[in-house]
Chains A and B, each alone.
Chain A
Amino acid sequence: MADPATRLWEVFIRARNGLAHRHAGSVHAADPEMALQAARDVYTRRGEGLSIWVVPSDAIVASDPRDKESLFEPAGSKIYRHPTFYEVPDEVGNM
């Protein structure tokens, strides 16, 4: 018989100051303190980070891949949101 499930946490690491925390992976741990310790052991054995966040996986609200079109398609046709849509004469220089 398998053991009862231990809580899953997502691990985010800031590689150095000036960068955002990035998702590194996940760990199992019974409480927040042990989750931090496990994240440190599993994901920072070679100086990969200066700061760690651990977040219970079940606290993350994620979009459904099936909603991809309705969520992201509208942005596809709005090329006027990009600077290259607008014409500036060469003589004007960089803008």
Chain B
Amino acid sequence: MYSQALNTASTPADTSEVATRFQIRIDAEERIEPNDAMPDAYRRTLIRQISQHAHSELIGMLPEGNWITRAPSLRRKAALLAKVQDEGGHGLYLYAAAETLGVSREELVDQLLTGRAKYSTIFNYPTLTWADIGAIGWLVDGAAIMNQIPLCRCSYGPYARAMIRICKEESFHQRQGYEIMLTLCRGTDEQKAMAQDALNRWWWPCLMMFGPPDRQSPHTDSSTRWKIKRFTNDALRQKFVDATVPQGLHLGLRFPDPELRCEDGHWVFGTIDWDEFRRVLAGDGPCNRERLAARRKAHDDGAWVREAAQVWAAKQTPGRKAA
């Protein structure tokens, strides 16, 4: 699924020789590979962004996993299982990309479980009805794709390669979500009302997925200079709204925004509640505690398996230590 543009921290331009030479390579659209020289700040920014992205994939399995046992048909259940498994896979590609920068998987997992690392705010909202599964696929994955496609051209090779793989798989996620919405909207009045209710609850949090407005982030943004980020938060948000509103209108749904209107070929939308965004980011969303508790429990419940596997491996190859 997706990494939120949370990296608003910016560093002043580094004018050392290493940094200058590095910037020349970046400006020439060269890809940076794991063992290449790179400024520490570039490495740190990438580790933070890629690991946040990986954490978001793993936490993103929880709201949807909630509905696997209650999917309305075997077809829907098989698709949802495959989608949730994909999210786990995406997390693993991304952890592997982060590890090429010299951080260990175990350290990254520990950062998530101890609450030191962030993940996308969108996964701290609950999935109350089956229509939420449709809304997540259509809107959350739709927003993710918008954000991830430019990352396929990111300057860091392993991250870009992971994103190419993820984007290929993500398209099925969005289409299966839209199909769920379409089926509900063509169904009974109650089913359509359920779809409308899901849109009402997910629309604004999805717009927040693109991160704070551009006017709040410093204009000398280092991620842009390093070509990690190729579009601003607001530009991606607008692209998403322009692409999504016609899809919603086709469903016969109303967007929960009285100010939404079309002007010069773009959909103008109302004001986003950034206080809500900050609250959820700071840990005070509807499901923050539940999500972390679920991850911790899964990690703790699997501890004996990891231990047994290490001991078994050590027994197979005498002389090799268990860790």
Contacts and interface: CB of A to CB of B under 8 A. Distances in A.
Interface of A: 1-8, 25-31, 34, 41-42, 45-46, 62, 64-66
B310 A42 contact: no
6 contacts: A2-B106, A3-B106, A6-B306, A25-B162, A28-B105, A45-B89
Contact of B96 (A1, A25, A31): A25
B35 A31 contact: no
B35 A34 contact: no
A42 B37 CA distance: 30
Contact of B310 (A4, A27, A45, A64): A4
B156 interface: no
A44 to B, nearest CB: 10
Contacts of A28: 105
Interface string B104-143: 1111011000000000000000000000000000000000
Contacts of A31: 309, 312-313, 316
A56 to B, nearest CB: 11
Contact of B35 (A1, A2, A45, A62): A62
B85 to A, nearest CB: 7
A34 B107 CA distance: 21
A28 to B, nearest CB: 6
**Chain B contact residues (Cβ within 8 angstroms of A): what range?**
20 to 34
Contacts of A27: 92, 96
Given A8-B99, A25-B96, A65-B35, A2 B104 contact: yes
B317 to A, nearest CB: 8
Contact of B93 (A42, A62, A64): A42
Nearest to A1: B110
A34 B109 contact: no
Nearest to A31: B313
B179 interface: no
Could you say which of A4, A29, A34 has the most chain B C-beta atoms within 10 Å of its C-beta?
Answer: A4
B17 interface: no
A84 B303 CA distance: 61
B104 A5 contact: yes
A5 B309 contact: no
A59 to B, nearest CB: 13
B169 interface: yes
Nearest to B108: A2
B323 A4 contact: yes
A34 B309 contact: yes
A42 B106 contact: no
B284 interface: no
A30 B309 CA distance: 6
Contacts of A6: 105-106, 306, 309-310
B86 A45 contact: yes
Contacts of A42: 89, 92-93
A1 B313 CA distance: 23
Contacts of B86: 45
